[in-house]
C-alpha cells in the first residue's frame, strides 16, 4: 500500500513539473479579431490565426496584408519570418509610400509589370497608371494592396481560415470589368500557409493575383537573406529589358547565375558580372516553372541553416517571381528591425509579367462566365 502511494505521488509530482515546463500545454488554436486602426474613415481589422503547434499568422484587412508569421526553429523557438509592421501607421507612412515595398500585401488586379501601362483587349486599347518608370506595376496607384477588404473568419477543428473579398469596379485603375476577388488564407496544423485566390468578372479583363510577403527565415537574426539556400524548379526564366519588362525570350538557366535547379546561397552569385542581375540590382525575375499542367506542385525551396527553418513553395501557377529586396534601403523599421537592402526575399507565384502584351505567354485574360482560381502553399519545417 505504501509502495502504491509512493508511485502515485511520484506520478503527480512529475506531471506537475511537465505542465509547469509547458510540456503538457497544447497551444490554444483559433482565430481572433482585433482593431487595427482606420483608413480613409474605414475601420481596419487584424485577424490572428493560431494552430495547435503554436504557429501564428496575423493578417490585416488593409491590403489583405500578412503582418506577422511566427514559425518554430529547429529548437522549437518561435520567430517572425516575414517583414512588416505591428501598427497600421507603418503601412501608411510617407517613408513606406515612397519606398513602396508592398510588405505582405495582396497584389492585383495584375501582379508585376505591364509595359508602358497599356494593353489591347478585344480591339480596345486600355491605359493604366505608369507608376514604375514608364511602366505599370502591381495594379497601379491604388491596387489591391491599398484598399480595405471585407473579412470573414472561418474557424475549423483542424485548421483556421480567413476569407477576404474585394470588388474592383469597372475601369478602376484603368482595367475593364467589375472584378470580384476572393482570397482565403489558411493556417494548417502542418505549419502551412495556404492561399487560395479566386475571381469573377462581367467583362474580359487581365487578372493575375499574388502575395508580396518578404521572408527572412532567420526571423531577423541575420540582417540579410544572403546565406539562405534557394532551389527553384525551373529550367528557363523570362529575360527582361532595362525596365524589367520581358523581351519575350525564355533563356535557359543552365550555366548562369539564374540556375537554382540545385541549392545555392543567394549571396553566392547575386553580384556576378551578369547583365540580367545588373538590370534588377539583383534577382528580380520570373522563373518559368516546370508545372505545365497547372497542378499544385513544388516550385521552390528556401533553407536557413542557422535556424534550421525550411520553406517549400507549392503552386498551381506557371511562374514565380524571385525578388531579393534589392530596393530596400534602411529607411523602414518594422517590429524593431531595420530593413536594409536584401533584408528579405519574395517568391511571388504568378503568371508571367506583361502577359497581356505577350501572345506567346500563358494568357491572363479572365472572361465573363469563367472563374479564376489559383492556389499557393508555403509549407514550413525544420531540419
Question: Which residues are designated catalytic?
Answer: 212, 348
Whether 143 contacts 108, CB under 8 Å? yes
Measure Cα distances from 76 to 24, 26, 60, 360 in Å: 15, 14, 26, 47
d(CA 223, CA 342): 8
Cell numbers representing residue 81 in the block: 519570418
Q: For residue 348, list its beta bridge partners.
A: 321
Nearest to 60 by CA among 28, 33, 22, 100: 33
**Residue with cell string 520581358:** 246
| CA proximity to 210, closest of 315, 325, 83, 133 | 315
Residue 130 CB coordination number (10 Å): 17
Cell matching residue 131: 507608376
**What cell numbers appear for 285 in the block?**
525575375
Strands, DSSP E only, in 123-178?
124-127, 136-137, 150-154, 159-168
Cell of 287: 522563373
Judge contact between 82 and 104, C-beta under 8 A: yes
Please tell me the distance from the alpha carbon of residue 154 to that of residue 163, in angstroms, as a whole number: 7
Q: How many CB atoms lie within 10 A of CB 237?
A: 26
Q: Cα separation of 381 and 310, whole Å?
A: 5
Say if CB 275 and CB 249 are below 8 A apart.
Answer: no
- How many C-alpha atoms does 287 have within 13 Å on its Cβ side? 28
Q: Which residues contact 252 (CB under 8 A, 6 or more apart)?
A: 235, 236
**Cβ(163)–Cβ(182) below 8 Å:** yes
Task: Assess contact for 322 and 288: CB atoms under 8 A.
Answer: no
**CA angle (339, 342, 344) in 5-degree steps:** 70
Amino acid at each position: 500500500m505504501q509502495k502504491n502511494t509512493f508511485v502515485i505521488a511520484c506520478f503527480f509530482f512529475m506531471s506537475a513539473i511537465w505542465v509547469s515546463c509547458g510540456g503538457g500545454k497544447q497551444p490554444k488554436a483559433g482565430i481572433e479579431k482585433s482593431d487595427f486602426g482606420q483608413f480613409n474613415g474605414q475601420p481596419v481589422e487584424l485577424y490572428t490565426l493560431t494552430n495547435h503547434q503554436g504557429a501564428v499568422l496575423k493578417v490585416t484587412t488593409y491590403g489583405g496584408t500578412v503582418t506577422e508569421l511566427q514559425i518554430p526553429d529547429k529548437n522549437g523557438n518561435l520567430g517572425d519570418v516575414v517583414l512588416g509592421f505591428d501598427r497600421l501607421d507603418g503601412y501608411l507612412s510617407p517613408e513606406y509610400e515612397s519606398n513602396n515595398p508592398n510588405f505582405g500585401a495582396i497584389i492585383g488586379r495584375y501582379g508585376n509589370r505591364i509595359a508602358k501601362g497599356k494593353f489591347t483587349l478585344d480591339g480596345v486599347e486600355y491605359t493604366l497608371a505608369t507608376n514604375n518608370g514608364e511602366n505599370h506595376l502591381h495594379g497601379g496607384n491604388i491596387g489591391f494592396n491599398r484598399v480595405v477588404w471585407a473579412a470573414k473568419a472561418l474557424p475549423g477543428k483542424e485548421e483556421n481560415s480567413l476569407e477576404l473579398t474585394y470588388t474592383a469596379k469597372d475601369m478602376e485603375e484603368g482595367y475593364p470589368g467589375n472584378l470580384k476577388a476572393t482570397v482565403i488564407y489558411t493556417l494548417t496544423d502542418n505549419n502551412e500557409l495556404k492561399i487560395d485566390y479566386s475571381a469573377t468578372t462581367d467583362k474580359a479583363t487581365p487578372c493575375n493575383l499574388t502575395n508580396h510577403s518578404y521572408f527572412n527565415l532567420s526571423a531577423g537574426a541575420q540582417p540579410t537573406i544572403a546565406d539562405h539556400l534557394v532551389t527553384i524548379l525551373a529550367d528557363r526564366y523570362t529575360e527582361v529589358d532595362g525596365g524589367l519588362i520581358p523581351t519575350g525570350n525564355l533563356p535557359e538557366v543552365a550555366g548562369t547565375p539564374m540556375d537554382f535547379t540545385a541549392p545555392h546561397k543567394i549571396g553566392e552569385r547575386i553580384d556576378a558580372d551578369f547583365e540580367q542581375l545588373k538590370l534588377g540590382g539583383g534577382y528580380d525575375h520570373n522563373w518559368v516553372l516546370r508545372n505545365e499542367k497547372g497542378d499544385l506542385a513544388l516550385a521552390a525551396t528556401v533553407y536557413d541553416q542557422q535556424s534550421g527553418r525550411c520553406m517549400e513553395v507549392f503552386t498551381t501557377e506557371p511562374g514565380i517571381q524571385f525578388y531579393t529586396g534589392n530596393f530596400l534601403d534602411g529607411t523602414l523599421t518594422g517590429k524593431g528591425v531595420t530593413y536594409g537592402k536584401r533584408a528579405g526575399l519574395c517568391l511571388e507565384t504568378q503568371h508571367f509579367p506583361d502577359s497581356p502584351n505577350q501572345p506567346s505567354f500563358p494568357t491572363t485574360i479572365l472572361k465573363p462566365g469563367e472563374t479564376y482560381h489559383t492556389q499557393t502553399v508555403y509549407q514550413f519545417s525544420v531540419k
